[in-house]
Amino acid sequence: MNLVLRLVAYHKKGEISLKNGLMALGYDLTLLTFFCSFR
């Protein structure tokens, strides 16, 4: 999906490390869960 593709693109460009990528993914998933639970 878009989140994964975005992280892969960022990682390939070397803009973020793998650790930061995983943290960003966790943050996005948290926001997504929060949004869905209050829909």
Please, are residues 14 and 36 in contact by the beta-carbon 8 Å criterion? no
Q: Rounded to an integer, what distance in angstroms lies between the CA atom of residue 7 and that of residue 27?
A: 12
Specify whether the backbone of 14 is left (phi greater than 0), alpha (psi in -120 to 50) or beta: left
- pLDDT of 31 above 80: yes
Q: Regarding predicted confidence, which is higher, 2 or 16? A: 2
- State yes or no: pLDDT of 15 exceeds 70: no
Q: Distance between terminal CA atoms of the chain?
A: 21
pLDDT band for position 14 (50/70/90)? low
Judged against a pLDDT cut of 70, whether residue 37 lies above it is answered with yes
The reported pLDDT for the residue numbered 16 is 60
Q: With bands split at pLDDT 50, 70 and 90, how would you rate the model's confidence at 11?
A: low
Lookup: tokens for 22: 């995983």
Q: Where are the domains of the chain?
A: 2-37
